[in-house]
Structure 1
Amino acid sequence: MVKKEKGTRFMDFQKLLTLHRRELHKIPELGRDLPKTKAYIKSVLDQLDCQVVEVMESGLYAYFDRGKDTTTAFRADMDALPVTEVNQADYTSLHEGRMHACGHDGHMAMVLTMAQYVDTQKELPANVLCIFQPAEETTGGAKEICETGVLETYHVDRIFGVHMWPFLEAGRICSKGGPMMPRSSEITIEVFGRTSHATAPENGIDALLIGCRYIEEIYALHQKRCKADPTPEERTIVQICKMESGTARNVISGYSALLGTMRAFSDEDFAGLVSILEETAHALSEKYDCRIEAFHSEGYPPVFNNRELYHQILPAVKEHLSYEEMELPAMISEDYSFYGLQVPSVFFFLGTGTGIALHSNNFDFDEQVLVQGLELYKTLLLHQ
C-alpha cells in the first residue's frame, strides 16, 4: 500500500503517477473481480479528505465537496485483459495470464493522482467526483455505475475521461466534438447441420462449408449496401474473426460457430447490419436445409462528445496542452459512452507514441505522458 505523502501541496506528480501506474500494472485483475486493485486505490483515497463509496464489488467513488452546486467527474476504468505479458521490467505483471494491455493502469494512475491534487485545493469552481469503474472490458461496468444514480446524487453536470492511444505523438491530446466512436456489438452465428463420414457427404449437412458461405454472403451484402462515398459517421463494420467447427479430419462437421463484431454510429445503420445477419441466416438455412441462428449483443452505445461542452473547454485545452483535432472517429468502442447518455461528456485520447497496439502482449508506455493527462484533468476542472 502507499505511504502518505508529507507536504502534499508540494507533491511530485510525475513520481506519484509513475508509482501508481507501476504498482497497479503489477496486479492486473479481470472484469469485476478486482480485490487487489480496489485495495490499492482505497489505500490512497483513505488518506484524503473525501467521501469514499464502494460500489459494484470492486468499484469506488471519491467525492470532494467544495460547497458548489455542481460537480465535475473524472472516470478511470480498472480491469485488465486475459493476456500473458512478454515485457521484462520491474513492474511486469505478477499475475500469469493477466495484463494491463489497454492502458487502464495509466487511466487509474491519472485519476488517482488527480484525487491527490484535488485534496490540496480547497477553493475550486466545482465539487469533484473521481470514479473508478470495473468491467469495461467485459460487461460494460459504466452502465451499472450510471444505474446506481451516482451522477444525480452528486449533481454531476459534466464528466471527462482519457484513453491511452499508441498511434498519437507521445503526450499529445486528441479529441473531437460529436461522434468519436461507434456503437459496438458482438456477433455469434450458429450453424446446425448433420454429421457424416467424409466418404459419405450425401448423408450429412456440412456446417463448416455453410459457415464459410455465410461469411462470404454477409461480406458481399454489406459491400453492396454500403454507400459509395460514406461520411465518417456513415462508416459501418461487420467482421467475422473466429470460426469453430469440426471434431475430426475425416468427419463432416454438423456444427459451426462464427464469432465477430459489428460497428455503426446510427441506430438506422446498426439495424441495417442486423438485417444483413438475419437475411443471410434465413436464405442459407433454406438453401442448405439446415438451422442457422444469428445473435448479436446490445453492446455499447456510440461515444458522443457533447459539442457545446467540447467547444467550451477547447480554448483552455489548446492553451495549456499539446492538442490536435481528430479528423475521423476511431472505430473502436468504449463503455464510457453510457456516461454521455446521462450528462454532458467529452472523451480524449492521450498519445503514447509507441505504435504498440492496444491489447498487445508487449503493450507499454513511458509514464512521462501521464503528466499531460493529469494537466488535462486540471485544466478541465479549473477552466469552466
Structure 2
Amino acid sequence: MNIAVRPPPDGSGVSTAIAESIADFVSLRHELHRKPELAFAERATTAKIIDLLQGWGYRVAQLTRTGVIATLENGPGPVLGLRADIDALPIAEATGLSYASAVPGVMHACGHDGHTVILLAAARYLARSRNFQGTLRLIFQPAEEIGAGARALIEAGLFDRFPVDAIFGLHNWPGVEAGRLGFVEGPAMAAVDKIGARFVGKGGHGAEPHLAVDPVVASAHAITALQSVVSRNVDPLQMAVVTVGSIHGGQASNVIPGEVDLQLTLRSYAPEVRELLKKRIPALFDQVAKSFGAEVRVDLHHGFPSVVNSSAETRLIRQIAEDSLGTDAVIADFAPRTASEDFAYYLHHRPGSFIFVGNGDSAPLHSPEYRFNDDIIAPAATLWASLAERFLNGDTHE
C-alpha cells in the first residue's frame, strides 16, 4: 500500500501544503534523473540546488567542489541538520523510462535524485511557512557512493563552521511497502571494508602440475577456509558478512597461472568484530598459502564504520512519523541492514538517526532496472518538515 500524507494532529497543515505542490518536485526529480553525475562531479546538480535554495531565501555555502550547505535562520534556538546525497553510479540504465538517463553509463540507480528532491520539497515548505524557531541546516552531500563525501565535508570543517545539535538522513529501500518507514535504534547499517589478496605460486603446464605451485588450488582452499571465519571466529550473537566477489587467474585450461587475485567485502556492526575480520582473514590466507607452498599478498582497504543511531533521536523521529503520517506508516520491527552508508561519519560527531523509506516492489538498489518511486516523495518530505518544526520548536520529547 502507499502511505497517504495527512494533516498532523497539531493542525499545521504540513502534509497538505507539501502534497499540493508535489507535482513540481516529481518533475524536478525526473530532470535530475535525466542528468546524473558521478561522485565529486555533481556540478550541474549542485548549481540547480543552489539556484532553488537561494530563491527560497536560504544562505548557501560549499565546503567541497560539489555539494551544498544551506542555512535558514528564524531567530535563536536549536540547530537541526538534514542530509541528502546527490551523486549517481557508473551504471548503464535499463529501465526504458521516458526520463531515463541521457548520460551513457551513468544512472541514479540508488535513488539519490529522489532523496535530493525529498529534502528540497521540505526546504521550500519550511522557507515559506517558517513555523519554527532556530536554525535549519540542509546538507546536500556529494560522493556518497564512493564513501568519501561525508568525511570530506567533516574534514573541511562542516561541524566547526556549520554546527548542528542533531543530524538526520534517510534512504529509500526496495522491497519495503512504498512510503512505510523503518527506524532502528543502535546499529542500523554495517561497517564496510575491502580486501584484495594475490596468491602467488609458480606457473607451469597443466599436464605437469607437480612442477608448478598452483595458486588456483591455494586460493580455492582459502575461499573454503574463509567460511569458518564467521561460523567459528565471530560471536554467534554478532553480525558479520564475508563475501568473495571477484576471483581472477589464468587464461587457458592447460596453463597453471602464476597468480590468482581475490576481492572481498567485509561487513559488520560491532567495532570489535570489524577488527577481528581485518586481522583473522589475512592470517588465515597466509597459513593456507604456505600450506601449498605459495605466498599471498594482502591489501586491506579500510572503508567506513557502521551507522549507529542515537536512541533518543530515533525515538523522537519515530513518534513524529506516527503523529504526522499515522501509526500504519511505521514498521513495527524494522531490522538493521547489512549494506553500508557514509552517513556513519556524521553520527561519530553528532547524535542523530538514519531512517528508511519503503520504495515498493522495485528492482534492487544499484540495479540497472532500479526505479525510484515518486509516490514516496510527499510522505518523506512531510516527515522532514514535521521533524524540523517539532525539533526546532523545542518539542524533543517522544
Q: RMSD of the TM alignment (CA)? A: 1.8
Q: Is the CA contact 2:194–2:266 (under 8 Å) kept in the aligned structure 1?
A: yes
In 2, the alpha carbon distance for the partners of 1:139 and 1:247 equals 34
Please name the residue that 2:220 is paired with. 212
1 CA distance for matches of 2:26 and 2:306? 32
SS at match of 2:372: coil
CA deviation profile, 1:111-162 (whole Å, cap 9, x unmatched):
1222222221334133111111111111421111122222232330011111
Aligned to 2:120: 112
Determine helix, strand or coil for the equivalent of 1:274: helix
Indicate the residue corresponding to 1:79 in structure 2: 87
**Residue 95 (str. 1) matches residue 71 (str. 2):** no
Would the aligned equivalents of 2:197 and 2:296 in 1 still touch at CA under 8 Å? yes
Matching of residue 33 in structure 1 with residue 41 in structure 2: yes
For the residue of structure 2 that corresponds to 1:112, the secondary structure is helix
Moved more, 314-323 or 328-337: 314-323
Please state if 1:253 is matched with 2:261.
no
From 181, 186, 193, the equivalent of 2:189 is 181
| Stretch moving more, 96-105 or 284-293 | 284-293
Residues 314-335 of structure 1 deviation map (CA, whole Å, 9 limit, x = unaligned): 3222111211244421111100
What CA distance in whole angstroms lies between the structure 2 residues aligned with 1:242 and 1:360?
Answer: 18
* Cα distance in 1 between the residues matched to 2:115 and 2:346: 16
Structure 1 match to 2:153: 145
Classify the secondary structure of the residue corresponding to 1:297.
Answer: strand
CA distance in 2, matches of 1:339, 1:214: 36
In 2: Cα distance, 1:43 partner to 1:16 partner:
15
* Residue of structure 2 equivalent to 1:328: 335
The corresponding residue for 1:348 is: 355
Q: TM-score by structure 2 length?
A: 0.89
For the Cα contact (< 8 Å) 2:206–2:256, is it kept in 1?
Answer: yes
Moved more, 132-141 or 324-333: 324-333
- Structure 1 segments (4+ residues) deviating >6 Å: none
Q: Which of 65-74 and 79-88 deviates more?
A: 65-74
Give the whole-Å Cα distance in 2 for the aligned partners of 1:66 and 1:265: 38
Q: 1:341 to 1:243 in 2, by over 3 A?
A: same
8 A contact 2:222–2:289 mirrored in 1: no
Contact 2:203 2:258 in 1 (8 A): yes
Task: Show CA shifts across 1:5-49 (max 9, x none).
Answer: xxxx97743112202211111111111112222222222223121
Could you say if the C-alpha distance between residues 336 and 348 of structure 1 is closer, same or farther in structure 2, counting changes exceeding 3 Å? Answer: same
Q: Does 1:268 align with 2:272?
A: yes
Which of the numbers 367, 372, 384 marks the counterpart of 1:360? 367
- Over 3 Å counting, the alpha-carbon distance change for 1:307 and 1:139 in structure 2 is closer
1:285 matched residue in structure 2: 289
1:295 counterpart letter in structure 2: D
Summarize deviations over 1:197-240 as a string: whole Å, max 9, x none: 22232332222221111111111243222445x2xxx1111111
Which deviations, in whole Å up to 9, do the C-alpha atoms of 1:225-263 show, x marking residues without a partner? 2445x2xxx111111111111133322111111112111
**Aligned counterpart, 1:3:** none
Displacement of 1:298 in angstroms is 1.9
Distance 2:130 2:229 in 1: 59
Query: For residues 172 and 242 of structure 1, what CA distance do their matches in structure 2 show?
Result: 35
Structure 1 match to 2:304:
300
AA aligned to 1:37 is T
| 1:57 shift after superposition | 1.4
What per-residue deviation string (whole Å, max 9, x for no partner) do you get for residues 322-365 of structure 1?
11244421111100111111111111111111142111111113
Preserved contact between residue 235 and residue 265 of structure 1 (Cα < 8 Å): yes
Q: Does 1:313 align with 2:320?
A: no
* Corresponding residue pairs, total: 372
Post-superposition shift, 1:302?
Answer: 0.9
Whole-angstrom distance in 1 between the partners of 2:52 and 2:252: 55
8 Å CA contact 1:125, 1:381 repeated in 2: no
> What SS is found at the alignment partner of 1:65?
strand
For structure 1, list consecutive stretches of 5 or more residues without a partner in the other structure.
Answer: 1-8
The one-letter code matched in structure 2 to 1:363 is: Y
Over residues 41-69 of structure 1, what are the superposed CA-to-partner deviations in whole Å (9 max), with x where a residue is unaligned?
A: 22222312121112321111111122224
Q: Distance in 2 between matches of 1:196 and 1:75?
A: 55
Task: Determine if contact 2:114/2:372 at 8 Å carries over to the other structure.
Answer: no
Q: How far apart, CA to CA, are the structure 1 residues paired with 2:162 and 2:306?
A: 25
